[in-house]
Structure 1
Amino acid sequence: MNRLGNVGRRRHGMSSQLVSCYRFKTGSSSSTRWLDRQKKDICSKESKLHNYRSRAAFKLIEIDKKYRIFEKKTRNILDLGSAPGAWSQVAAERMNKLGVEANILGVDLLPSSPPKGTHFLQGNILSKRTHKEINEFFSRATDTTNVGLHIDLVVSDMMANTSGISANDHLASMELCDGALLLAMNLLKEGGTMVIKFFSGCEEHILQWRLSLTFHKVFRMKPNASRSESKEMYFICKRKKSSTSVSEVFGTT
């Protein structure tokens, strides 16, 4: 697989993978604790009541309530790390309420059936091939032969397989965020919005700096729907700039 190069430094030779939430080994003590938390988790219960595919739906709902990321002008939406599909569900729901017929594409390493009114692509965000396939999808959806700059909104709930070693998990998260940001620089329209999850740690300031070079406004948020013990955080990035280059952001040539 052709990995995207020159998006910062290689991080200790780790290979990152997109994963959906809540993967666990059947019968393990960790899975038992996970199931116990789920039984007591209000968001998990609410997600079943509302037919959302996971509790992650409420994180995006909170983010939208505060920052209004879904707008009438939004037409093309990319959902990274989409499996099992809760964020795509929320996107479709929000755009339907606005009366907008949106093109919504979910992307994940794991196979997933797209929610009603959305599409799905199985692929690796760190692969140039996946970037090309995303571009081709939105080119067809907008009936244009122009390359890039088709997307109005990128939402990323990606997270690498956790190792239990906080520093390694953080660095793997930063690599995925770099890949998502590079994609946004190439395909997100001027003035577009990006929401990106990251695993908090010592290099998050580098990511925030890169985002601030690319967008006019960058906000940090931990939704109430996130578990208190989790180190996951989100950057909400508004109004993509028109003039920032990849070399400026990543220091590449």
Structure 2
Amino acid sequence: MSKCLYLQNSFFYSSATVLKKVHLNMKGRKSADQRWLVRQMSDPFVKAAHSQNYRCRSAFKLIEMDEKYSILKPGFSVIDCGAAPGAWSQVAVQRVNSTGERPDLPRGSVIGIDLLHIAPLEGAHFLFNQDITDANMHTVLQRLLPQTHADVILSDMAPNASGFRELDHERLVSMCFSLLELAEKLLRPGGSLVCKYWDGASTHKLREHLTHSFRDVRTVKPKASRKESAELYFLARMFRKM
């Protein structure tokens, strides 16, 4: 189970119950796990995720980026890569009106993909136990997209950490390149791509390829991304269909 889901299932009760749960869950745990639990309980984005019914604090990363750059609009079709546990999909569903809750606005669509299971979400079509880097998935997605093309590709996915920074960096950059291949097949001209990366030796190469395919490429570090985290996001807009 992911830490987001673990926290969501285990700790969000009354304040007294939370503190009791934290104390009980400290027993027998490694010091690193204890530090993680304490940090989570003092994190304002974790608390906000609970109060606003988001599945994970990462929702606020996308909310901040969208409010600043207007990535998601009613009627848009969105592909959410590495979607579990579904927090980014929740944000996308709300902002593209994929439930049709606002009949006065165009109705969009959200497709989420992950190797992990994702709990159902109204307004989203989830493909779990599926690998977005598999080229066969491109055909599946094309059939599912209302206009056979997406307006936005989102990715908060990352490989399991190996403990070797440069290796993890290269693996994540490789994932980002697979998203570029996905964009070439499924992203409409003028569309946007958001992808997480960890800075390293291949960052420049990835930026060059993004700049070749998009008119506007910038690096973003949302406030909800912890300061100590190495994660950054490339926001690439105005896709140039080759």
Mark yes or no: TM-score above 0.5: yes
Instruction: Give the equivalent residue in structure 2 for 1:60.
Output: 62
Could you state the TM-score of these two structures normalised by the residue count of structure 1?
A: 0.80
Query: Counterparts of 1:115-194 in structure 2 under 5 Å?
Result: 115-122=121-128, 123-138=130-145, 141-142=146-147, 150-194=149-193
Query: Counterparts of 1:215-226 in structure 2 under 5 Å?
Result: 215-226=214-225
Say which SS state the counterpart of residue 166 (structure 2) adopts: helix
Work out which structure has the larger RCO, using CA pairs closer than 8 Å and 6 or more positions apart in sequence: 1
Superimposed CA distance per residue, residues 31-71 of structure 1 (whole angstroms, 9 cap, x where no aligned partner): 22211110010000000000000000000001001111012
Could you state the TM-score of these two structures normalised by the residue count of structure 2?
A: 0.83
Aligned mates of 1:182, 1:130 — CA distance in 2: 12
Q: 1:28: how far off?
A: 3.6
Residue 106 in structure 1 maps to residue 105 in structure 2: no
Say which SS state the counterpart of residue 186 (structure 1) adopts: helix
User: Structure 1: which 5+ runs fail to align?
Assistant: 1-18, 143-147, 244-253
Q: Which runs of 4+ in 1 moved over 6 A?
A: none
Aligned mates of 2:62, 2:36 — CA distance in 1: 22
CA RMSD of aligned residues (A): 2.0
User: Counting helix residues as a fraction of each chain, which structure ranks higher?
Assistant: 2
Aligned mates of 1:21, 1:239 — CA distance in 2: 34
Letter in 2 for 1:109: L
Contact 1:198-1:234 within 8 A present in 2 as well: yes
Residue 230 in structure 1 maps to residue 229 in structure 2: yes
Q: 1:154: how far off?
A: 0.6
Bigger mean CA deviation after superposition, 60-69 or 122-131: 122-131
Say which SS state the counterpart of residue 32 (structure 1) adopts: helix
Structure 1's 41 and 235: CA in aligned 2 closer, same or farther, altered over 3 A? same
Bigger mean CA deviation after superposition, 95-104 or 29-38: 95-104
User: Structure 2: which 5+ runs fail to align?
Assistant: 7-27
Residue 86 in structure 1 maps to residue 92 in structure 2: no
Contact 2:77-2:151 within 8 A present in 1 as well: yes
Bigger mean CA deviation after superposition, 124-133 or 53-62: 124-133
Say which SS state the counterpart of residue 160 (structure 1) adopts: coil
Q: Which has the larger radius of gyration?
A: 2
Instruction: Give the equivalent residue in structure 2 for 1:40.
Output: 42
Aligned mates of 2:137, 2:3 — CA distance in 1: 21
Tell me how many residue pairs correspond in the alignment. Answer: 215
